[in-house]
Structure 1
Amino acid sequence: MNGFEAIDALLAQAGHEDELPPPERRRALREALGLSRAQVARALGVAASTVAGWESGRDPGGETRAKYAYFLRGAEDKLPPAPAESPAPAATAGRIADGVPVTPGDAAPAGPDGAPADTATPGDTPDSADSPRRLAVPRPCVLCGRDAGHELAGFPQHLDPAECAAAVRGSGAAERAGVPVEPVGRRVRPVAERSDLIGEAVAAALAEHSGDVEAATAALVRRAIPDAMRLLDHCRKGGRYDIVAHPWLPDILRKPTARDADQVWEARPKWTRPALPAGTHHVTALDVNGAYLSALKTHLPIGQLEHSAGPGHDRRRAGVHLITPPAWHHEDVLPNPLGARDEPGPLWVTEPTLRLLLRLSSPAYGLCDPPEIHESFTSGATENLLEKFRVALKDARERALAEGDEVTMEYVKAMYSKFVATMGESNYNRELYRPDWMHLIRSQAFANLWMKTYKAHSEGLMVVRAMGTDEFHVTGDWRRVFPEGRGVFEVKVKDTYTIGDDPHGPAAADGHDD
């Protein structure tokens, strides 16, 4: 036994706490068995987000640690060893058998019964120097560099060649090519490892509140704004564009007083179909998931807004525009894309509203005349300014949804909704004072909802109501048009009710509350 082996054996026996493999190995073991975090969490009596924290670097303690260690040891034992192979000697040159380089004339390491000898423990007496030994703490494999649970001939290795192959496949083209880099101005720098800020925050909150889901959720929602700003800063590292957080703003974006609104119109819908055909109608109120989350992908001005006069519209720029809107002649079947506005005459609208009107006036739709543009405040724009931020929130939401992790679901929802609603108006995010962005993102959510109503109408459904950022009511077989679920691109049922003469009873009034 060499010095390193003696140290490993000593560490394996020392202390009273159960040994745990590294976080990445914990996750790999769970995924190898096809188990979700929610399943493991239920068995251990904890939240799925707690398991996520353990797989991100936190360690449990006490009886929970013992149970988790027992699960991980069982997972290791349950994974099947690779089947032994006995190829002809001429075919073994340069090949790897059970994770060990094999040369002509050598045989793959095997136990006394001919099976791969991968079940030895530190206390076992090896038959030879080439017998594998299970490591108390996984170490980087000499062949692929990923953590391996066994040592052979003094070197940590995967005994199953498939594990090495999977590790190489999972490493990605960037790793195989060398050091991955990201742009920073005119230069590049190595990509920093992306930490899971959302998972870490959830795990820490649950640990702080001793697993109390309600208390942890309330604490996370309270800190949603500063945490969203921290996530944004993290996602902006290596970004192509610099954000001008406190640009000069035109007077139309300034509130006269704290209680008054500025002059920008967001086109929020609050529409109800004036009349329905005679008969009985079964109405379903549908809720659009993650409306503000999806709206983060919109054309946002990068720098300071600049004034221009005249009717032109440059699609490479974004901002706010003074327009005379076109007449809308479809109020009986579709909401006005300008939202609930009764006052005639010119008004300041956002980029998403203008682009929606221009789209609906195109030959492909032909629903209205083009709006008349009088003047604009715009800057060079991109749809990708908040894309990494949006994707980080979306991915966390999808993982939480798959694992039944309601703590993370509520936390992520609070992060993106409060981020949009308080740009520059909260004590926690004054460094991002962009009321123009706030208007544009909210308007994009309204425009997205309008397109949902148009899709329903064009597919033969009858649209009954549209309101807010995420709710519309329809009659007919809506499931053939919209996928049902809680995903970002899905809808869920919010309410059902009946309108009209019901032969089986009195007419049901619309009891839905705005």
Structure 2
Amino acid sequence: MADFEAIDALLATASSERTPLPSAEERRRLREGLHLSRAQLAQALGVGPSTVGGWESGRDPSGEVREKYAYFLEGARTKLEAVTENTAAATDAEPGDDEPTEPDSAQAGQTPESHDDDGGGDVLAVAQPCVLCGQPARHQVEGFPQHLDPAECAPAAPASVPAQAEKPAPRTAPRQPAPARKSRPAASGVKVVPVGRRLQAADAPDRIGAAVAAALAEHAGDVEAATAALIKRAIPDAMALLDDTRKGGRYDVVAHPWLPDILRKQTARGADQVWEARPKWSRPELPAGVHEITALDVNGAYLSALKTHLPLGQLEHSTGNHHDRRRAGLHLITPPAWEHDPYLPNPIGNRDEPGPLWVTEPTLRLLLRLSGPKYGMCDPPEIHESWTSGATEGLLEKFRIALKDARDRAISDDDQVTLEYVKAMYSKFVSTLGESNYNRELYRTDWMHLIRAQAFANLWWKAHRAYDEGLMVVRAMGTDELHVTGDWRAVFPEGRGVAEVKVKDTYTVGTDPSAAAEPSPDAS
């Protein structure tokens, strides 16, 4: 009877009605109306910022967190309505033109939000220090002051030079970002930091180093136990690092978009319809003679592939034989004929079936480049239809460089714990972007395919470089395996860095014709 009583108690407390939520657009409007960032709301609800982004793109929460989210939204609506009523009452006694007015924003120094066309942020009435360079900025993104135009993002002035106070901006229409201008030589004493390396605020925590130190302390210096514990938590740690590196980012990312059918598995254990162009190629025939072959291992293949054109929002459908370089996604193409298989792999990998197939952005861009006037190795692919969104190549650049720098330090210090931890972070980050129960923060199957395809494309370009420099390419496999003959050290730097290669194996193939022609000692 105890079991039935437990079931009755459960049914008594359960409810068939779910707490109603406003539309996705209204959810975002309520949060932004109070000038709250996604990170602030996520911290209060005990979730990640990308999860809040998913709710504001149409995905609904469930369970207890749904009740908390609904409570916040209702409170935000009540507060905004009260602000609107107070503002309306204040307009009945509007001051004269010569009387100053106080900002009615919920956060001092901010005007009601006005979004730029490039996915920018809020207009600030009073300039605040840019999160990237420290100079006064008049916009903010996700709650962080930032220059929207990279040309305006200059290094902070030396401490010895007192900064001049910014005057409050007049109540006029938001000014447009200044056009890009050529950089000028830096004044003496000012350190110019390239835009691509302006990654995080100076006080950003070393999340990777802190995690390694804590794991070693928890396991009393046991390297194997600490490494196993870090690898086990690699996915949530990678997502936390991604959130850190996205602070002040110029673009919002749709973390849980609606996906077209081509990105859905056809069967429970099957695959979707996207072809990643994974290379599995061996030279069909070798010249006569003995060949000393070196199997090269490409370091950090997936880490390097994080630098690729990734779609920001929900994929949109289009038709026609046209490629927009400002967008990225998936494309149904008829690939061109490939006539170089005797010495170079096919850019679309090994495919037995002819006809159209769905490929990713890196594969399409590789084919378009090879069909161009510089290489002329094939005809252009024919594009039939596409699923794309506005894209940027630097979306994960801060995340990638944070992992790369930690990897470089680990190699320099012979720190195997950090090295294995970082490897698990970026490899599992890629592998769990699809339908995985281990990563609920970011669900972008399209990103998973694009990053993998970029790793394959990077390997193809290494094979082409080897061939172009006079080496004989014997095999190209997966993301990181390239077999060649010849003086490969004159072509590729040797080492453990992401821009270097290391020797995986050496072996000999073929026979010496002269040795086969000599008579054996027993012949008489």
TM range (shorter): 0.5 to 0.7
Distance 2:213 2:402 in 1: 17
Amino acid at match of 1:291: A
Question: Residue 237 of structure 1: CA displacement?
Answer: 1.1
Match of 2:308 in 1: 298
Match of 1:248 in 2: 258
Match of 1:82 in 2: none
Task: Tell whether 2:407 aligns with 1:450.
Answer: no
Question: Residue 233 of structure 1: CA displacement?
Answer: 1.0
Alignment partner of 2:433 out of 423, 435, 440: 423
Measured against aligned partners, the alpha-carbon deviations of 1:174-226 in whole angstroms (never above 9, x if no partner) come to 99977899942586179572000000000011001110111111111111111
Distance 2:366 2:222 in 1: 46
Match of 1:334 in 2: 344
Alignment partner of 1:198 out of 208, 221, 224: 208
Deviation larger for 321-330 or 257-266 = 257-266
Alignment partner of 1:208 out of 192, 195, 218: 218
Distance 2:278 2:135 in 1: 50
Distance 1:406 1:304 in 2: 39
Counterpart mapping for 1:29-44 below 5 A: none
Amino acid at match of 2:203: E
Amino acid at match of 1:270: K
Measured against aligned partners, the alpha-carbon deviations of 1:359-402 in whole angstroms (never above 9, x if no partner) come to 00011001100000000000000011111110100000001111
Match of 2:363 in 1: 353
- Give the SS at the match of 2:421: helix
Mapped contact 2:131–2:145 kept (Cα < 8 A):
no
Counterpart mapping for 1:42-121 below 5 A: none
- Give the SS at the match of 2:277: coil
Distance 2:376 2:504 in 1: 32
Mapped contact 2:362–2:454 kept (Cα < 8 A):
yes
Alignment partner of 1:310 out of 317, 320, 323: 320
Question: Residue 500 of structure 1: CA displacement?
Answer: 1.1
Mapped contact 2:317–2:387 kept (Cα < 8 A):
yes
TM-score (norm 2): 0.61
Mapped contact 1:424–1:430 kept (Cα < 8 A):
no
Gaps of 5+ in 2: 1-129, 147-199, 517-524
Distance 1:423 1:202 in 2: 24
Match of 1:321 in 2: 331
Amino acid at match of 1:315: R
Deviation larger for 304-313 or 256-265 = 256-265
Task: Tell whether 2:247 aligns with 1:232.
Answer: no
- Give the SS at the match of 1:199: helix
Match of 1:382 in 2: 392
Mapped contact 2:239–2:441 kept (Cα < 8 A):
no
- Over 3 Å counting, the alpha-carbon distance change for 1:174 and 1:233 in structure 2 is closer
Distance 1:188 1:174 in 2: 6
- Over 3 Å counting, the alpha-carbon distance change for 1:246 and 1:457 in structure 2 is same
Alignment partner of 1:466 out of 472, 476, 486: 476
- Give the SS at the match of 1:412: helix
Distance 1:229 1:195 in 2: 15
Question: Residue 428 of structure 1: CA displacement?
Answer: 3.3
Counterpart mapping for 1:471-490 below 5 A: 471-490=481-500
Amino acid at match of 1:224: A
Mapped contact 2:305–2:452 kept (Cα < 8 A):
yes
Amino acid at match of 2:348: L
Question: Residue 355 of structure 1: CA displacement?
Answer: 0.2
Mapped contact 1:424–1:433 kept (Cα < 8 A):
yes
TM-score (norm 1): 0.62
Alignment partner of 2:141 out of 176, 184, 199: 184
Measured against aligned partners, the alpha-carbon deviations of 1:284-337 in whole angstroms (never above 9, x if no partner) come to 000100000000000000001000000000000000000000000011000000
Count of residue pairs the alignment pairs up: 334
Gaps of 5+ in 1: 1-172, 507-514
What percentage of residue pairs aligned between the two structures are identical? 76
Aligned CA RMSD, in angstroms, stands at: 2.4
- Give the SS at the match of 2:330: strand
- Over 3 Å counting, the alpha-carbon distance change for 1:399 and 1:182 in structure 2 is farther
Distance 1:403 1:182 in 2: 41
Match of 2:414 in 1: 404
Amino acid at match of 2:393: E
Distance 2:301 2:335 in 1: 25
Measured against aligned partners, the alpha-carbon deviations of 1:465-496 in whole angstroms (never above 9, x if no partner) come to 00011101000000000000000000000000
- Give the SS at the match of 1:367: coil
- Give the SS at the match of 1:465: strand
Measured against aligned partners, the alpha-carbon deviations of 1:226-278 in whole angstroms (never above 9, x if no partner) come to 11111111111111111101111110011123301000000000000001000
- Over 3 Å counting, the alpha-carbon distance change for 1:496 and 1:361 in structure 2 is same
Distance 2:490 2:470 in 1: 11
Distance 1:448 1:196 in 2: 29
- Over 3 Å counting, the alpha-carbon distance change for 1:352 and 1:426 in structure 2 is same
- Give the SS at the match of 2:507: strand
Match of 1:284 in 2: 294
Distance 1:446 1:405 in 2: 28
Amino acid at match of 2:244: H
